Amino acid sequence: MQRIEALLTELQTALRKGDFSSLPALSAELETVLIPKEAAALRRAAHLSRETGELIAASLRGVRAGLRRVDALRAGTTLTTYDNSGRRVLRGSTPPETTRI
């Protein structure tokens, strides 16, 4: 296995684990690696690169979805949950008003 393949595999593992703090170092090291000259190694590296790109896109979608959810909760929108029978239940982010008797 060539160094580029090993780095792309490490990058994929970090993405799958959510280890975002290791990405800058891996990315910087990946930029210094030479592209393989052999056709088979080049095909493997290209395949790993495509897979890594898909993982990066999926990670980004997940992070963005999380940020949207946090923003929605901060804005006071309703929380959607499900009861024991699977019916959707909307819950407000603030408790219902009570009346003093």
Highest average pLDDT, of 34-38, 71-75, 94-98, comes from 34-38
Give residue 33's domain range.
Answer: 3-91
Look at residue 99 and tell me if it is in a domain. no
Look at residue 9 and tell me if it is in a domain. yes
**Span 74-97, mean pLDDT?**
75
- Whole-structure pTM value: 0.66
- Within the chain, residue ranges assigned H as helices are 3-17, 23-32, 39-75
Look at residue 52 and tell me if it is in a domain. yes
Look at residue 97 and tell me if it is in a domain. no
Look at residue 47 and tell me if it is in a domain. yes
pLDDT of residue 54: 96
Look at residue 21 and tell me if it is in a domain. yes
| pLDDT per position as a tens digit, 21-58 | 999 999 999 999 988 889 999 999 999 999 999 999 99
Please enumerate in sequence order all residues whose Cβ is within 8 A of that of 91, keeping only pairs 6 or more positions apart, or say none.
78, 79, 80, 81
pLDDT of residue 77: 67
Look at residue 101 and tell me if it is in a domain. no
Look at residue 25 and tell me if it is in a domain. yes
